[in-house]
Amino acid sequence: MAVIYNDEKQIFHLQTKGTSYVMQVVRNKYLLHLYWGKRVQNYCGTRSIILKNRGFAPNPQENDRDFSLDTLPMEYPHGGNGDFRSCAFGIREQNGSRICDLSYVGYEIMKGKPKLEGLPCSFGSEEEVSTLKIHMKDKISGLSVFLLYGVFENADVITRSVVFENHGNSPLTLTKMLSMSVDFRESGFKVMTLYGAHNNERNVDLRPLKSGMVQIESLRGTSSPQQAPFMALLEANASEESGNIYSANFVYSGNFTALAQADAFENVRFQMGMNPWNGEWYLEPNEKFFTPETVMVFSSQGLNGMSQIYHNFYQHNLIRSKFAFQPRPILINNWEATFFDFNEDKLLALADKAAQTGIELFVLDDGWFGHRDNDDSSLGDWVTDKRKLPLGLSHLSDEIHNRGLKFGLWFEPEMISRNSELFRNHPEYALHTEGRPYTFGRGQLVLDLSNDEVCRYVIESVSKVLRETKIDYVKWDMNRHLTDVGSINFPMERQGEIFHRYVLGLYKILEELTTEFPDILFESCSSGGGRFDPGMLYYMPQTWCSDNTDAVCRMKIQYATSFTYPVVTMGAHVSEVPNQQTGRVTPLQTRGQVAMSANFGYEIDLTKLSSEELDEIKKQVAFYKDIRNTIQFGKFYRIKSPFDENVAQWNFVSGDGSQAVAFHFEILSQPAAPIKILKLKGLDADAVYRDISTGYEYGGDELMYSGISVPLEKKDFRSVCFRFVKVN
In Å, what is the CA distance from 658 to each residue of 304, 597, 651, 724, 726?
Answer: 21, 18, 14, 8, 5
702 burial (CB, 10 Å; 0-12 / 13-18 / 19+) is middle
Q: Counting contacts by CB under 6 A, is residue 522 touching ligand DGJ?
A: no
Q: Does 479 bind ligand DGJ (CB under 6 A)?
A: yes
Number of residues counted as binding ligand DGJ (CB under 6 A): 11
CA dist 572 and 597 (Å) reads 8
CA dist list (Å): 604 to 199, 335, 373, 577: 18, 8, 20, 9
Residues 164 and 145: beta-carbon distance below 8 Å = yes
Under the binding rule (CB under 6 A), the answer on residue 411 touching ligand DGJ is: no
The conformation of residue 119, written as its DSSP 8-state character, comes to S
Nearer to ligand DGJ, 271 or 338 (CB): 338
**Does 477 sit near ligand DGJ (CB under 6 A)?**
yes
Name the one range near ligand DGJ by CB under 6 A: 36-44, 49-57, 297-305, 525-533.
Answer: 525-533
The answer to the question of residue 410 lying near ligand DGJ (CB under 6 A) is: yes
CA dist 8 → 5, 25, 26, 505, 613 (Å): 9, 11, 11, 46, 73
x/- mask, ligand DGJ, residues 431-470, rule CB under 6 A, reads: ----------------------------------------
Q: CB of residue 199 vs ligand DGJ: minimum separation in angstroms?
A: 10
Residue nearer to ligand DGJ on the CB measure, 79 or 225: 225
- 3-state SS, one letter per residue, for 651-686: EEECCCCCEEEEEEEECCCCCCCCCEEECCCCCCCC
Q: Which stretch binds ligand DGJ (CB under 6 A): 73-81, 386-394, 522-530, 705-713?
A: 522-530
Kindly report the CA angle at 426 between 422 and 431, in degrees rounded to 5?
95
In the bound complex, what is the minimum distance in angstroms from residue 568's beta carbon to ligand DGJ?
19
Q: Which is nearer to ligand DGJ, 148 or 363 (CB)?
A: 363
Q: Which of 512, 39, 495, 468 is nearest to 281 (CA)?
A: 495
CB of 458 to ligand DGJ, least distance (A): 17
Site for ligand DGJ in 306-345 (CB under 6 A): 335
**570 in contact with ligand DGJ (CB under 6 A):** no
Which of 528, 566, 601, 700 lies at the binding interface for ligand DGJ (CB under 6 A)?
A: 528
Work out how close the CB of 253 gets to ligand DGJ at its nearest, in angstroms, rounded to a whole number: 16
Shortest-Cβ-distance residue relative to ligand DGJ: 366
Contact 581, 696 (CB under 8 A): no
The Cα 351–Cα 361 span in angstroms is: 9
Give the torsion through C-alpha atoms of 372, 376, 378, 384, to 10 deg: 20
Residue 656 is a catalytic residue? no
527 lies in the site for ligand DGJ, by CB under 6 A: yes
Using CB under 6 A as the binding rule, whether residue 385 contacts ligand DGJ is answered as no
Q: Note whether 601 binds ligand DGJ by CB under 6 A.
A: no
CB 430 within 8 A of CB 358: no
First to last CA, the chain: 38
Tell me: does residue 43 bind ligand DGJ (CB under 6 A): no
For ligand DGJ, the closer CB: 299 or 378: 378
C-alpha span between 549 and 553 (Å, rounded)? 7
Q: Which of residues 539-568 bind ligand DGJ (CB under 6 A)?
A: 544, 547
Residue 615 corresponds to which amino acid?
D
Please tell me whether residue 414 adopts helix, strand or coil conformation: coil
Taking residue 534's Cβ as centre, other Cβ atoms within 10 Å add up to 29
Minimum Å gap between C-beta 603 and ligand DGJ is: 8
The H or E element that residue 158 is part of is strand 157-166
The pattern of x and - marking residues 361 through 380 that bind ligand DGJ according to CB under 6 A reads ----xx--------------
Catalytic residue among 83, 448, 547, 605: 547
Minimal distance, residue 465 CB to ligand DGJ, in Å:
16
* Secondary element (H or E) of residue 621: helix 611-633
Closer CB to ligand DGJ, residue 293 or residue 477?
A: 477
Q: Which of 477, 533, 550, 605 is catalytic?
A: 477
477 is catalytic: yes
- Which of residues 122 and 524 has its CB atom nearest to ligand DGJ in the complex? 524
Active-site amino acid positions: 477, 547
Binding region for ligand DGJ (CB under 6 A): 335, 365-366, 410, 477, 479, 525, 527-528, 544, 547
